[in-house]
Each structure stands twice: as C-alpha cells, then as structure tokens.
Amino acid sequence: MLAMAARRTWVPPAIAGIAAVALGLGAAELVAALIAPAAGPLLVIGAAAIDLAPSWAKDAAIALFGTADKAALLVGIGVVLLLAAGAAGVLEARRPPIGRLIFAAGAILGVAAALTRAGASPFDAVPSAVAAIVAAIALGVLLRRIPRAASARRLAPAPPLAPGARLEPAAQRASGADPAAARSGEPSRRTFLTWAGGSALIGALAGAGGLLLESGARAVTAVREAIRLPAPAAPAPPVPAGAELDVEGISPLITPNRSFYRIDTALQVPRVDPADWSLRIHGMVDREVRLTWDELLALPLEESRTTLMCVSNPVGGSLIGTALWLGYPIRELLDRAGPQPDADMVLSRSIDGFTAGSPLEVLLESDRNAILAVGMNGQPLPEEHGFPVRMVVPGLYGYVSATKWVVELEVTRFDTASAYWTDRGWSARGPVKLGSRIDVVQGGVGAMTAAGVAWHQHTGISGVEVQVDGGPWREAELAEALSIDTWVQWRYDFAPPAGEHELAVRAIGLDGEVQTAEVADVVPDGATGHHTVRVTAA
C-alpha cells in the first residue's frame, strides 16, 4: 500500500479528497440534526436522486432490488460520492481550485435540493454549505500533509528513470521510516495517513451521531403526522359572517399555523414523543397528579379561539396571532390536585427547562379558557408551537403563561418561585394590555380605507377610533367579535386631500378603558402607545 502510493501519485490526493468529504458530510449531518433535521445532506441527496431519476430507472431499481431499493440507492449514492470526492482531491492537487469548485458545485446542488422541497425553511440551506466549507478546508490541510515524495512528481515531472534505477530511496524517504525526514519536519506518510484517517473517522462519528439525532426528530414528525385528534366535546361556535371584514391586507381573523409568530429560547425544537409525554402536577397540592397523553386525549376536550401575544411585541408589531385551540381546562386538573390555600402561582415547566409563572387564581377561573392545548387550527400542535402539549391562557402574555412542550405544573408562590423571564428583568405578572394595530391603508385622494385589529384578551373590545392628522378621534367600523379572548377587526374609511397624512389608532375596552397614548417600552411588562403610520394620498 505504501509503496503503491509512492508510485501512484493520485492515490494520496484521492484519499485526501475522500477523507475531506467524509469530514464535511459528517459535520453537515450533525448541524442538520441540530437545526434542520429534514435537510441532512444524505437525505437531501437521496430524495433529490429519487425525484430526478427517470421512471424507468426507478422501475429497474425496484425490479432489481425490491424493497431494498432504498438501501441500493444509498449504496449507489455512496459510490458516486466516493468517486467524486477522490476525483476532487486529485484535481485539487493538480489544478487548484478545481477540487474546491467541485465541492462548491455539490453545495449548490445540495442547497437547491434542500430549498425546493415542500415546507423548506431557510435553515435547510445550512447543512450543505457547512459540508462544502468543512470539506474544502480539510482538503487543503490534508493535501499539505502529503509527503513530498508523493507530490514531487506532480510539481516537477520526474526525469525518466535510468534503466535499472531503483525506486527504493524515494519510497523510503516518503514512508517516514527515514529518521532524517522526520527530523527535518517533512510530513511523513504516517502523518498523512493519520490525518486522513482521523478526518474520515471524525466525519463518520459526527455523521452517525447526526443521523441518530435526525432519525429521532423524524420519528416524532411521523408520529405527529399520524395523529388524529378526537372531536371536541365542546366545539367552538362557527365563525359568524360579520366577524371578518373584506379588506385586502387586513390580518386574517384566524392566523394560519405556518404564519403564526414563533418565540422561544429553544435553539433546537424539542422533539417529544407523545408516548413518552406526561404532565406532573405537584408542589403545594394535596395530592400529586400525573397525566399521560392517552389520558389527556380521553378527556372531554374543548375548542376556543384565543389571541396569543408576546410581551416583546412593539407597538405596531407582529408578535400576535389568533388560533382555534383544542385542549382541556387546566383548572380541572388543578382541582384534582387540590391546590393549598396559601399558594398563588403555577410555575409551568417545559421539557427544555423554560418556565412561566401564572397566577393560580387566573388558571382556576371558571370562565377563563386556560387550557392544556393539543390542537391548533384543526391540527396537532406544530412541533415549533409546542407539540404535543402546551398551555394557552387568554389575557396573559406568552412569557407568563403559554409554556410549550409543557411537562410540569408546580403549584407554588410568587414570593418563593420565579420564572425564566422574571429572572431576566421582566415583570413577574404579565396581563395583556389593551392594544390596536393598523394593518393596511389603501386607496387614494378622496377615498382611503384603513384597517387592522384591536385586542384586550379576556376583557374584550367595545370600539376602535382613528385619528387623521391630529384631528378628532372618529369611530371606526368594528367587526363582530368572536369572543372577549379574540382580537377584533376594524376598518375606517376617510376622504383625504392629496399629500401626506398621519393616522393613529386606539382601542376602547369593554370595561371602558381607552388605550393610552403614553409610550412605554416592551420591558418590563409590555409596550404602550398608539400605533401611528404615515401615508400619501395620490
């Protein structure tokens, strides 16, 4: 092998290419497992190969390999990758940067394949890019460690050998067996093979780890997709026709799952298999309660439409959305546990360690749809919105109530326990503030329409007013409210002269509160002030 490598100068660079690609793909697979489990390079390449293969090839593969066709595909991909990686190594050694260009081309194909798959996210581009960058760097490092003897001939073609000349001295020098070579700092063949083998091994380990993690994530995705949620025992009433205004650009009354805002501290979305999920209610209770997924689904589930909002939503911001939730009232479960009289807080805990502190009395209110939710807009919760179980509490900001991937409710006290964001400077209590937003202003001189939403969860909205150019506040048209827990759409028609105009909006609560003009930052307990926009009538 060693002597062969000395004579065949393409062998070490080919080994370098293969080792570099192994390291790159391994790193990419690990990165994919962490941020984009559907975009691991092997999976993406395999899927693209299946999509792109002509149907006769697919038929032939199935005829030839039967149910092992996927395995055969992977072996085929492996062989092609091996050849391409070896070729890239050889080309990079002879005509740089052709090898690295081959890696770049592979990355472009990988990114394209990842991004054009159904439901792709921008993150899906990362693993392929990581693969190419790591492979390119590793290839450079490895090529530099190829012993001179093996690379000498590519730099300067060796003179023709004199008849009868022997190769021994060169082979010996390059093998690293020559102590003089080792002393001179010249890379030895053993050093090179150690580096190449080490890269390939690390790549294989990272790749195996990544694939294992990804398969866990994909298994949960498959479990979620197979779930059929039970029909609600208490369905939400149908949406009345008057609840939705016909204005282009207004927030839809119900926010689709795919455009629902997402806020959490999770670098990697926790993957929780419902079969492993349980909720533990403990702390200041008469008896601890445990609830499994099957037990939860067997309970009479209720539907409710609740607007969820983040305390970090600035005036006019988009961290707010409304969904049809399916779940079970938390108060029923707390009643089973029997909270002690001096408790005043429920500290909910996510499987990833996040905590939220909600007032116990709010969760116990009989007319508050504070629920353990399993469904969102007719689907099992999306993984990034807390699958399989989260909390939803109308009237409280998300950070003090809406724990996703919830696994624990600890009944405790505000003066002894504190939650994730409370420890970071945010208020311990987070009731949602009365608010409104201008979504769109359209039209032109003499006929403009402004429209948007207003909310005060669990209080309700009685009116919305709009002010043009600092003039008097005028009443906007209000759509029918779905409930006091849901935002309400509004529209306002006006007839501006040509030029620039300033519009402001304010909401009025069912309790008579008028939305304050006083400007407050989001920290520590939510922004205030009127949403104001400038428009030009032309």
Q: How far is the CB of 224 from ligand MTE (least distance, A)?
A: 15
**Closest CB to ligand MTE among residues 195, 260:** 260
Site string for ligand MTE, 353-372 (x = CB under 6 A): -x------------------
Which does residue 350 bind out of Mo ion, ligand MTE, none, counting CB within 5 to 8 angstroms by kind?
ligand MTE
Q: How deeply is 287 buried, as exposed, middle or buried, from its count of CB atoms within 10 A (0-12, 13-18, 19+)?
A: exposed
Which does residue 282 bind out of Mo ion, ligand MTE, none, counting CB within 5 to 8 angstroms by kind?
none
**Closest CB to ligand MTE among residues 186, 273:** 273
Coil, strand or helix at 182: helix
Interacting residues of 519 by C-beta distance below 8 A, sequence separation 6+: 315, 527, 528, 529
**How far is the C-alpha of 312 from the C-alpha of 520, rounded, in Å?**
12
Contact residues: Mo ion, CB under 5 A? 263, 310, 398-399
**Closest CB to Mo ion among residues 31, 311:** 311
Applying the rule CB under 6 A, the residues between 458 and 487 that interact with ligand MTE are: none
Q: How far is the CB of 401 from ligand MTE (least distance, A)?
A: 8
Pairing of strands 379-380, 390-392: unpaired
Applying the rule CB under 6 A, the residues between 390 and 409 that interact with ligand MTE are: 398-399, 402-405
Residue with tokens 């939650």: 419
Q: How far is the CB of 450 from Mo ion (least distance, A)?
A: 27
Applying the rule CB under 6 A, the residues between 241 and 260 that interact with ligand MTE are: 260
Q: In what order do the strands lie in the sheet with 406-412?
A: 289-292, 278-283, 406-412, 345-350, 355-359
**How far is the C-alpha of 487 from the C-alpha of 418, rounded, in Å?**
30
**Closest CB to ligand MTE among residues 114, 308:** 308
**Closest CB to Mo ion among residues 147, 321:** 321
Asked if 262 interacts with ligand MTE (CB under 6 A), we say yes
Coil, strand or helix at 466: strand
Interacting residues of 39 by C-beta distance below 8 A, sequence separation 6+: 32, 114, 117, 120, 123, 124, 125, 126, 127, 128
Q: How far is the CB of 455 from Mo ion (least distance, A)?
A: 15
Which does residue 385 bind out of Mo ion, ligand MTE, none, counting CB within 5 to 8 angstroms by kind?
ligand MTE
**Closest CB to ligand MTE among residues 260, 492:** 260
| Identity of the amino acid at 300 | P
Torsion of CA 361, 364, 366, 370, to 10 degrees: 110
Percent helix, strand and coil across the chain, each to the nearest 5: 40, 25, 35
Which does residue 362 bind out of ligand MTE, Mo ion, none, counting CB within 5 to 8 angstroms by kind?
none
Which does residue 10 bind out of Mo ion, ligand MTE, none, counting CB within 5 to 8 angstroms by kind?
none
Binder among 100, 271, 385, 530 for ligand MTE (CB under 6 A)? 385
Question: What tokens appear for 29 in the block?
Answer: 């697979």
Question: What tokens appear for 74 in the block?
Answer: 């992977």
Residue with tokens 């909270």: 339
Q: How far is the CB of 389 from ligand MTE (least distance, A)?
A: 11
Which does residue 81 bind out of ligand MTE, Mo ion, none, counting CB within 5 to 8 angstroms by kind?
none
Q: Which of 404, 442, 431, 433 is nearest to 420 (CA)?
A: 404
Using Cβ positions, the residue closest to ligand MTE within the complex turns out to be: 398
Contact assessment for residue 43 and residue 207, using Cβ atoms and an 8 Å cutoff: no
Q: How deeply is 114 buried, as exposed, middle or buried, from its count of CB atoms within 10 A (0-12, 13-18, 19+)?
A: buried
Which does residue 348 bind out of Mo ion, ligand MTE, none, counting CB within 5 to 8 angstroms by kind?
none
Asked if 426 interacts with ligand MTE (CB under 6 A), we say no
Which does residue 9 bind out of Mo ion, ligand MTE, none, counting CB within 5 to 8 angstroms by kind?
none
Size of the site for ligand MTE (CB under 6 A): 19
**Closest CB to ligand MTE among residues 17, 526:** 526
Could you please report the per-residue DSSP string of 199-244?
Answer: HHHHHHHHHHHHHHHHHHHHHHHHHHHH--PPPPSBPPPPPPGGGS
Which does residue 328 bind out of ligand MTE, Mo ion, none, counting CB within 5 to 8 angstroms by kind?
none
| Identity of the amino acid at 461 | I
| Identity of the amino acid at 156 | A
Binder among 194, 259, 265, 416 for ligand MTE (CB under 6 A)? 265
Applying the rule CB under 6 A, the residues between 294 and 353 that interact with ligand MTE are: 308, 310, 350, 352
**Closest CB to ligand MTE among residues 387, 494:** 387
Q: Which residues of this protein are in contact with ligand MTE, per CB under 6 A? A: 260-266, 308, 310, 350, 352, 354, 385, 398-399, 402-405
